[in-house]
């Protein structure tokens, strides 16, 4: 799966390095590619609710527009209901 999102504003190279270190720790991360003013984030098929929650938090911390993640909101709701039924 790939997610295209607008690059955050980095005030210095240390902040940019911190961003990449953080995104590389996201569960299911396989790579990231710079595309002008955007990044293309690649995730593997193990992506689940944890990964989506990590991405929402990361986008919050770095003030990134979360609209590329909106399609995952329904997925989280469905998965949460499955979990509630099982427990």
3 state SS for the chain? CEEEEECCCCCCHHHHHHHHHHHHCCCCEEEEEEECCEEEEEECCCCCHHHHHHHHHHHHHCCCCCHHHCHHHHHHHHHHHHHHHHC
More confident residue, 61 or 70: 61
Query: Does residue 84 have a pLDDT over 60?
Result: no
Looking at every residue in the chain, the average pLDDT score rounds to 89
Catalogue all structural domains in the chain, each as residue range(s) with its CATH number. Answer: 2-86 (3.30.70)
- Does the pTM surpass 0.95? The reply is no
Per residue in 28-43, pLDDT (tens digit) is 999 999 999 999 999 9
Q: What is the pLDDT of residue 85?
A: 54
């Amino acid at each position: 799966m790939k997610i295209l999102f607008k690059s955050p504003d980095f005030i210095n190279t240390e902040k940019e390095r911190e961003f990449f270190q953080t995104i590389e720790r996201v569960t299911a991360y396989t790579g990231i590619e710079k595309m002008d003013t955007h990044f293309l984030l690649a995730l593997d098929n193990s992506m689940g609710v944890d990964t989506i929650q990590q991405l929402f938090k990361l986008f919050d911390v770095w003030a990134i527009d979360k609209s590329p993640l909106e399609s995952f909101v329904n997925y989280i709701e469905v998965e949460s209901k499955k979990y509630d039924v099982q427990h």
